[in-house]
Chains A and B, each alone.
Chain A
């Protein structure tokens, strides 16, 4: 069993402020059934713009429920400005700490709060950051989110990033990208110079792009597949869609739909263009 604090177990066993609010002033939802946890947070303000009523509903493990319940207690009576200052570390501290692998529960609380405040301010129900690119496709975690987690919690390794926001904990293909972000933040700290562009996307001509894809296939992808007795053939490139065919052992291999395609896509995104998608040639 997990080493949960008494406060965590108390909030899990007797969650405070469970439910919904009719016509809330702010409402936010994060997570999904697929992720394994989700939280909906709602609040209502009084005439002094203080949070008078706050309610939550959570799908998740004991610490997810406890983190949500704790957050509602922390929010009661606070102004929006005060609420905005609550971090995931505050939630974890309120609970007397969380196991490392469960820190993402506190992050989920902070995210739902942020979403609810955003909803209060703008009336929108989702926060779209168009310039933000998704690093971990398994859990849909963006680069900005990972940067924030690393900076706020002084994180120095991938494992901690995974504990705090799940990024890198699925297929693991993005772990090298996460490491790059950690390294960059570390070196920024050392030099205190403004951060360089994360992935410079210089505009390539179509021919240049195809050539680059070929190079990456030769250098990064083919050797790995050949080790497993397989091979790959580049069929076509349409915009950012790369059409491939598997040869040798890879052809007809049941796992080719998952790992190999993800691997190829990850490599091409890393070295050519983050927008690239890989599909298998139709037979």
Chain B
């Protein structure tokens, strides 16, 4: 069976070039960059080079990059580290649609004496900007952590404006840029954020590597104590092969970004239009204008997401859902709910996320195989329009 992988916002395959770049660092060049001999010392040079390339990817200085194990670590480091410097007496401003890697530490910090404001979004998933401006008012320490683009809907927040307003108000601003990396250009000189999180495995590098950009002068309490690595800001021997792999991944992303984004948007739009025209009672969740080129989130009304995923999985198609059942929780996706999507559609939301390796042939296959699954499940559902109203409802 062919695998049609349309779940790239969850994770991506490792690019062959990335794998190739990493290869020598497993067996031949395995030295510790901190060692006082040529075998380790030369590895330090490799890391230096990788750091410079990664810094260039977001137009930062190499010293502003801290390597971490993943996006979640980067988010935690930024938020808890900054709040600690503020004496845990800060107003933390975030949004209701953040990734759990941001909501988790923010809500934890609320219990430690900080004030927490979770901004709402409108029905298109766009941030409440008036609420944001109001939240930035007042004296005292302020820490903003707002995602650049949403992982479930692909909706892009106006980060230039968010960062500018934060700076005006004297707030520190962090952004989770995990989903935008490689899809839209990131330039921290143009977008004046203080901290920015990136994860490797969303951009065809392996799982287990990420980084946090920290603008020079931004104070951050270290929480991984130990060695002097990363200028003492994150102890632990460098994950050399993965750092080299990440550098290769950002190089590939930079090279192809424009052409790739165009191609992604073309395929995504073809998929979305095709599904909407062949499946009645389906709707796109989120702003379709300010959106990542690779993401489409569609609600199929009257049916449930896990059942859809299991059926299409039998056909080799991989996607994800905001349904409660699939998450092992009882609450459907906090992102979809925050947007006020009607109950008829909440549980049947499916996210398709494409990558540079998605082909038109694969999209055509999905367009052919997906609609019959929807029809099959609708026939089963007591809520479909062709069903008579069930007794007692």
Among A26-34, A84-92, A190-198, A234-242, the stretch in contact with B? A26-34
Taking CB atoms, residues of chain A closer than 8 Å to B329 are 169
Taking CB atoms, residues of chain B closer than 8 Å to A13 are 311, 314
The reply to whether A162 and B325 form a contact with Cβ atoms under 8 Å apart is no
The reply to whether B307 and A33 form a contact with Cβ atoms under 8 Å apart is no
The reply to whether B383 and A62 form a contact with Cβ atoms under 8 Å apart is no
Known contacts A64-B304, A162-B330, A228-B110; A36 and B381 CB within 8 A of each other: no
Which of A18, A63, A101 interacts with B380 by CB under 8 Å?
A18
The reply to whether A61 and B118 form a contact with Cβ atoms under 8 Å apart is no
Instruction: Tell me which of B303, B344, B382, B390 has the highest count of chain A C-beta atoms within 10 A of its own C-beta.
Output: B390
Known contacts A33-B343, A38-B382; A59 and B304 CB within 8 A of each other: yes
B109-145, CB under 8 A of A: which get 1 and which 0? Answer: 0100001011110000000000100000000000000
The reply to whether A36 and B391 form a contact with Cβ atoms under 8 Å apart is no
CB distance from A253 to the nearest CB of B (A): 8
The reply to whether A61 and B382 form a contact with Cβ atoms under 8 Å apart is no
Taking CB atoms, residues of chain B closer than 8 Å to A169 are 329-331
Interface residues of chain A: helix, strand, loop or mixed (majority):
mixed
The reply to whether B331 and A62 form a contact with Cβ atoms under 8 Å apart is no
Taking CB atoms, residues of chain A closer than 8 Å to B314 are 13
| Chain A contacts with B in 14-28, Cβ cutoff 8 A | 15, 18, 20, 27-28
A139 interfacial contact with B, CB 8 Å: yes
The reply to whether A254 and B307 form a contact with Cβ atoms under 8 Å apart is no
B323 interfacial contact with A, CB 8 Å: yes
CB distance from A129 to the nearest CB of B (A): 14
A157 interfacial contact with B, CB 8 Å: no
The reply to whether A59 and B332 form a contact with Cβ atoms under 8 Å apart is no
Taking CB atoms, residues of chain A closer than 8 Å to B346 are 36
Taking CB atoms, residues of chain A closer than 8 Å to B381 are 57-59
Taking CB atoms, residues of chain A closer than 8 Å to B117 are 253-254
CB distance from B92 to the nearest CB of A (A): 12
The reply to whether B331 and A29 form a contact with Cβ atoms under 8 Å apart is no
| Complex Cα–Cα for A18 and B382 (A) | 10
| Complex Cα–Cα for A57 and B381 (A) | 5
B228 interfacial contact with A, CB 8 Å: no
Identify the closest chain A residue to B110 (Cβ).
Answer: A228
The reply to whether B323 and A254 form a contact with Cβ atoms under 8 Å apart is no
| Complex Cα–Cα for A12 and B303 (A) | 14
The reply to whether B387 and A115 form a contact with Cβ atoms under 8 Å apart is no
Which of A102, A126, A229, A254 interacts with B392 by CB under 8 Å?
A126
| Complex Cα–Cα for A12 and B8 (A) | 27
Taking CB atoms, residues of chain A closer than 8 Å to B306 are 61-62
The reply to whether B382 and A28 form a contact with Cβ atoms under 8 Å apart is no
Known contacts A37-B325, A254-B118; A60 and B304 CB within 8 A of each other: yes
CB distance from B286 to the nearest CB of A (A): 20
Identify the closest chain B residue to A68 (Cβ).
Answer: B380
Taking CB atoms, residues of chain B closer than 8 Å to A67 are none
The contact size tier of chain A is 35 or more
The reply to whether A28 and B391 form a contact with Cβ atoms under 8 Å apart is yes
The reply to whether B115 and A249 form a contact with Cβ atoms under 8 Å apart is yes
A170 interfacial contact with B, CB 8 Å: yes
CB distance from A69 to the nearest CB of B (A): 9
Taking CB atoms, residues of chain A closer than 8 Å to B118 are 254-255
The reply to whether A139 and B330 form a contact with Cβ atoms under 8 Å apart is yes
Known contacts A29-B393, A40-B391, A61-B304; A166 and B330 CB within 8 A of each other: yes
| Complex Cα–Cα for A228 and B390 (A) | 46
A119 interfacial contact with B, CB 8 Å: yes
Which of B110, B325, B392 interacts with A36 by CB under 8 Å?
B325
A136-170, CB under 8 A of B: which get 1 and which 0? Answer: 00010000000000000000000000100010011
Taking CB atoms, residues of chain B closer than 8 Å to A125 are 391-392
Identify the closest chain A residue to B306 (Cβ).
Answer: A61
A65 interfacial contact with B, CB 8 Å: yes
Which of A37, A61, A119, A255 interacts with B326 by CB under 8 Å?
A61
A98 interfacial contact with B, CB 8 Å: no
Known contacts A18-B379, A29-B382, A169-B331; A57 and B387 CB within 8 A of each other: yes
B302 interfacial contact with A, CB 8 Å: yes
CB distance from A247 to the nearest CB of B (A): 15
CB distance from B324 to the nearest CB of A (A): 5
Known contacts A36-B323, A62-B310; A57 and B110 CB within 8 A of each other: no
Taking CB atoms, residues of chain A closer than 8 Å to B379 are 18
CB distance from B274 to the nearest CB of A (A): 25
Taking CB atoms, residues of chain A closer than 8 Å to B115 are 228-229, 249
Known contacts A20-B388, A36-B332, A254-B131; A12 and B307 CB within 8 A of each other: yes
B295-314, CB under 8 A of A: which get 1 and which 0? Answer: 00000001111110011011
| Complex Cα–Cα for A57 and B330 (A) | 21
Instruction: Tell me which of A28, A33, A40 has the highest count of chain B C-beta atoms within 10 A of its own C-beta.
Output: A33
Identify the closest chain A residue to B344 (Cβ).
Answer: A33
B217 interfacial contact with A, CB 8 Å: no
Known contacts A18-B380, A34-B343, A36-B323; A57 and B304 CB within 8 A of each other: no
Identify the closest chain B residue to A127 (Cβ).
Answer: B392
A108-126, CB under 8 A of B: which get 1 and which 0? Answer: 0000000100010000011
**Chain B residues near A (Cβ < 8 Å):** 110, 115, 117-120, 131, 302-307, 310-311, 313-314, 323-326, 328-332, 343-344, 346-347, 379-383, 387-388, 390-393
**18 additional A-B residue pairs with CB within 8 Å, beyond A34-B343, A58-B382, A61-B304:** A18-B379, A18-B380, A28-B392, A33-B347, A33-B383, A36-B304, A36-B330, A40-B391, A57-B390, A58-B380, A59-B304, A59-B382, A62-B307, A65-B380, A169-B329, A169-B331, A170-B330, A254-B117
* 19 A–B pairs (Cβ distance < 8 Å), ordered by A: A12-B310, A33-B344, A33-B347, A33-B383, A36-B304, A37-B304, A38-B383, A57-B381, A57-B387, A59-B302, A59-B303, A59-B382, A61-B305, A61-B307, A61-B325, A139-B330, A166-B330, A249-B115, A255-B118
For the complex of A and B, the 7 pairs showing the least CB-CB separation, nearest first, are A61-B325, A169-B330, A125-B392, A61-B306, A57-B382, A40-B390, A29-B390
